């Protein structure tokens, strides 16, 4: 007998694509996960001051994309892929970032992010986010992702683990900045901390390499002036 309380909701085309791609990635990629905490107190103090200096609003996501791109430049295996019996190290560092659009999750891509200034990344992120939320992204806007970023900080999530997209080998998941008290100079000081969690394809990257990579991201975020 049919359950009268149940409701059948058909999948949208985007949901069908996501389900197929993520199921394949989860099945084919043996991943491991690392987490680190970054002190972003200085970053959060600096960020509001940059709009006047750089002529564009700098989001925390802009910093994350920039730090991620610089770190991948130092650790190119993070953007590698398996092809037959070889690992292909892709020369382009293209950062895909998740956007919660009205029609579902989409991932526009900031191409050649390592070659862009923080201001240029902010402008590109803004342009792509606006296109995503108005359902105007093109296939080219979402193509050629080599590394992924997912940020749920605005939803109050402390930390989470993302699924590596089929076209990438690494996804950095970023949570909400939370307040804590740390020892400093014989006393205590309030600081803003951020949880960084990386999911990595173990066929390409080992624990030590990924740990060094994540430390590099953390260090970049803790020295935000270096990203400007």
Q: Hey, which residues are catalytic here?
A: 202
Q: How far apart are CA 218 and CA 173, in angstroms?
A: 13
Number of residues in the chain: 228
CB 169 within 8 A of CB 201: yes
Q: How far apart are CA 74 and CA 71, in angstroms?
A: 5
CB 118 within 8 A of CB 141: no
CB 97 within 8 A of CB 124: no
DSSP state letter for 12 = P
Q: How far apart are CA 61 and CA 199, in angstroms?
A: 18
Burial group, residue 38, by CB count within 10 angstroms (0-12, 13-18, 19+)? buried
Cα 182 to chain centroid, rounded: 27
């Amino acid at each position: 007998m049919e359950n009268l309380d149940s409701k059948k909701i058909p999948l949208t085309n985007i949901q069908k694509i996501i389900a197929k791609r993520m199921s394949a990635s989860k099945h084919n990629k043996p991943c491991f996960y690392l987490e680190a905490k970054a002190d972003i107190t200085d970053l959060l103090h600096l960020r509001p001051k940059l709009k006047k200096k750089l002529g564009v609003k700098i989001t925390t996501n802009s910093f994350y994309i920039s730090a991620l791109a610089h770190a991948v430049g130092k650790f190119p295996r993070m953007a590698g892929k398996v092809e037959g019996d070889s690992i292909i190290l892709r020369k382009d560092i293209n950062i895909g970032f998740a956007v919660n659009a009205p029609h579902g999750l989409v991932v526009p891509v900031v191409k050649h992010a390592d070659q862009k200034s923080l201001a240029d990344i902010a402008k590109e992120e803004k342009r792509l986010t606006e296109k995503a939320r108005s359902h105007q992204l093109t296939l080219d806007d979402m193509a050629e992702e080599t590394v992924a970023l997912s940020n749920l900080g605005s939803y109050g999530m402390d930390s989470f683990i993302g699924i590596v997209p089929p076209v990438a080998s690494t996804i950095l998941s970023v949570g909400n900045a939370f307040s804590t008290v740390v020892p400093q100079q014989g006393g205590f000081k309030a600081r803003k901390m951020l949880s960084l969690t990386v999911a990595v394809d173990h066929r390409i990257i080992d624990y030590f390499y990924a740990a060094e990579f994540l430390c590099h991201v953390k260090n970049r975020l803790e020295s935000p002036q270096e990203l400007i």
